[in-house]
């Protein structure tokens, strides 16, 4: 790794940077051979190499930039150091995250579907049965809802978690639900197969660290105001705690036009496929904000390389408690499953759908955690 120092840095500050690097465990070498007055000065660092060092070194006022990250690449990055040649980087293969029957990444796609919020046991059971039959491998549904207005329906809370637990056991399908409060990570984790971190929580580092301490998969949604770099840094918080099962979810960012609720950033999806080994999925429901555009946005997301979709589906469109305008029917969802299968095949990938036989053949994890 090379640090480029600011021009004309006083010697005591150079000394202090060298001392700091040594404290981090690096051997340092000041590259001062430039004959010209004012030519850039570099410090070469060898050894050490923890991912968080890059950010700490960038924070030093005397450091202009970290030129070559070398061994200190972040955990989410596609490019990683070669163990036998610490100064060269090679592309990491795609990470595949398994959640119940679902597989995200490494050439496999899965679909998550269900209501925005858990409303009642009967309704969740009905929706779960419909999406499972259509091809979803994971059921979604929020018990704790992060609503923009405090007067909107906030979800059923703990009662919602209990309903989720029952439906999961009855239908033997993995479930994804949002955790809003770091203090709820234990309770939500007892019920769900995958934590959802919502767009509004993407910058809650306390929450990110807390789910990072578990070994349960995390679905991390991009904040509508976050750059791609900020999104990846949020993922890094989870990875840095040792939880390697992170799935990124692009759900639309703030645009200036209200024809859609958000602007689906397909460019970011295509970029992320290259920039990180983590799986990336698309939520066309919150991007569109309208049922009639969910299907085309789903197709666009998959065509850009997404490893799956998360879609809001409801069986009673006139009874939806939240995000009703974007909920699609089970029949409409079935069409998207067909699209996903065709688009996956086009790319030499495979859509994983729910298999009844899986239950009989031993979905051990679901059975063990339920009983
Ligand atoms: C949701 O998935 O229902 C949700 C609240 O999404 P987001 O956090 O992306 O707004
Ligand atoms: Mn919603």
Tens-digit pLDDT profile for residues 228-251: 999 999 999 999 999 999 999 999
Ligand 1 contact via 299 beta carbon (within 6 Å): no
CB-ligand 1 contact for 146 (6 Å cutoff):
yes
What pLDDT is stored for residue 30 in this prediction? 84
The atom of ligand 1 lying closest to the CA of 196 is 2
What is the phi-psi region of residue 86: left when phi exceeds 0, alpha when psi lies from -120 to 50, beta otherwise? alpha
User: Which value, in Å, is the radius of gyration of the alpha carbons in the chain?
Assistant: 23
Section 204-215 average pLDDT: 98
Query: What is the number of the ligand closest to the CA of 262?
Result: 1
Average pLDDT over residues 166-185: 98
DSSP string, 271-331: HHHHHBSS-EEE-HHHHH-SGGGHHHHHHHHHHTT-SEEEEEB-S-GGG-SS-GGG-B-HH
- What digits encode the pLDDT tens for the residues 95-151? 999 999 999 999 999 999 999 999 999 999 999 999 999 999 999 999 999 998 999
Mean pLDDT along residues 345-359:
86
Average pLDDT score, the chain? 91
Cα separation, 335 vs 91, in Å, equals 35
What percentage of the chain carries pLDDT values higher than 70?
90
- Strand-pair partners of 238: none
Local structure of 112: helix, strand or coil: strand
**Tokens matching residue 85:** 């040649």
User: Is 1:70 a contact under the CB 8 Å cutoff?
Assistant: yes
Q: Does the Cβ of 198 fall within 6 Å of ligand 1?
A: yes
The answer, yes or no, to whether residue 70 has pLDDT greater than 70, is no
Phi, psi dihedrals of residue 240, rounded to the nearest 5° = -65, -20
Q: Confidence class of residue 37 from pLDDT cuts 50, 70 and 90?
A: low
The predicted structure's pLDDT at residue 371: 35
- pLDDT value at residue 81: 72
Contact 174 CB / ligand 1 (< 6 Å): no
Cα–ligand 1 centroid distance for 243 (angstroms): 22
Give yes or no for residue 41 CB within 6 A of ligand 1.
no
Q: Residue 38: left (phi > 0), alpha (psi -120 to 50), or beta?
A: left
Using a 10 angstrom Cβ sphere, with 0-12 exposed, 13-18 middle and 19 or more buried, the burial of residue 7 is exposed
Please, where are the H alpha helices in the chain?
11-23, 53-58, 121-134, 158-171, 185-191, 205-213, 228-240, 266-275, 284-288, 294-303, 330-346, 356-362, 364-370
Is the CB of 221 within 6 Å of ligand 1? Answer: yes
- Counting ligand 1 atoms within 8 A of each CB, the residue from 283, 311, 313, 320 with the most, and so the one to mutate, is 283
Reading the block at residue 30, the tokens are: 């000041």
Residue nearest to atom 6 of ligand 1 (CA): 198
- What percent of the chain shows pLDDT beyond 90? 77
Atom 9 (ligand 1): residue with closest C-alpha?
Answer: 199
Q: Is the dihedral of CA 326, 330, 336, 340 positive or negative?
A: positive
Per the structure block, which two tokens stand in for 327? Answer: 């909920």
pLDDT at 269 over 80: yes
Q: For residue 275, is pLDDT > 60? A: yes
Q: Is the pLDDT assigned to residue 5 strictly greater than 60?
A: yes
Distance CA 276, CA 265 (A): 16
For residues 289 and 311, give the distance between their C-alpha atoms in angstroms, rounded to a whole number.
11
pLDDT band for position 73 (cuts 50, 70, 90): confident
Model confidence band, residue 43 (pLDDT cutoffs 50, 70, 90) = confident
**Closest to 218 in 3D by CA, of 181, 186, 243:** 243
For ligand 1, atom 10, name the residue with the nearest CA.
199
| pLDDT at 53 > cutoff 80 | yes
Q: Confidence class of residue 33 from pLDDT cuts 50, 70 and 90?
A: low
**pLDDT tens column, 281-314:** 999 999 999 999 999 999 999 999 999 999 999 9
């Amino acid at each position: 790794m090379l640090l480029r120092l600011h021009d004309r840095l006083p010697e005591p500050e150079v000394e202090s940077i060298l001392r700091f690097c040594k404290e981090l465990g690096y051997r340092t070498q000041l590259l001062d051979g430039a004959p010209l007055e004012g030519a850039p000065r570099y410090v070469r660092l060898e050894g050490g190499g923890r991912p968080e060092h890059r950010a700490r070194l960038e924070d030093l006022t005397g450091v202009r930039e970290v030129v070559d990250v070398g061994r200190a690449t972040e955990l989410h990055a596609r490019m990683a150091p070669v163990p036998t040649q610490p100064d060269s980087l090679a592309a990491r293969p795609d990470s595949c995250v398994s959640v119940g029957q679902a597989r995200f990444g490494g050439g496999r796609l899965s679909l998550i579907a269900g209501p925005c919020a858990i409303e009642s046991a009967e309704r969740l059971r009905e929706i779960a049965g419909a999406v499972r039959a259509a091809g979803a491998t994971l059921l979604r549904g929020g018990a704790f809802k992060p609503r923009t207005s405090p007067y909107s329906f906030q979800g059923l809370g703990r009662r919602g978690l209990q309903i989720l637990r029952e439906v999961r056991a009855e239908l033997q399908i993995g479930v994804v639900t949002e955790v809003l409060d770091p203090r709820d990570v234990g309770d939500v984790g007892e019920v769900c197969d995958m934590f959802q971190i919502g767009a509004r929580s993407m910058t809650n580092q306390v929450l990110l660290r807390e789910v990072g301490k578990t070994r349960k998969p995390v679905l991390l949604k991009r904040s509508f105001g976050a750059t791609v770099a900020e999104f990846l840094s949020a993922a890094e918080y989870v990875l840095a705690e040792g939880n390697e099962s992170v799935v990124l979810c692009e759900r639309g960012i703030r645009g200036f036009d209200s024809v859609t609720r958000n602007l689906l950033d397909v460019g970011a999806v295509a970029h992320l496929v290259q920039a990180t080994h983590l799986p990336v999925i698309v939520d066309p429901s919150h991007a569109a904000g309208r049922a009639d555009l969910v299907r085309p946005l789903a197709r666009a997301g998959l065509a850009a390389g997404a490893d799956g979709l998360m879609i809001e589906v409801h069986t009673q469109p006139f009874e939806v408690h939240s995000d009703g305008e974007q909920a699609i029917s089970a029949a409409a969802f079935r069409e998207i499953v067909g699209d996903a299968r065709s688009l996956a095949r086009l790319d030499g990938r495979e859509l994983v759908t729910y298999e009844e036989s899986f239950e009989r053949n031993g979905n051990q994890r679901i059975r063990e955690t339920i009983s």
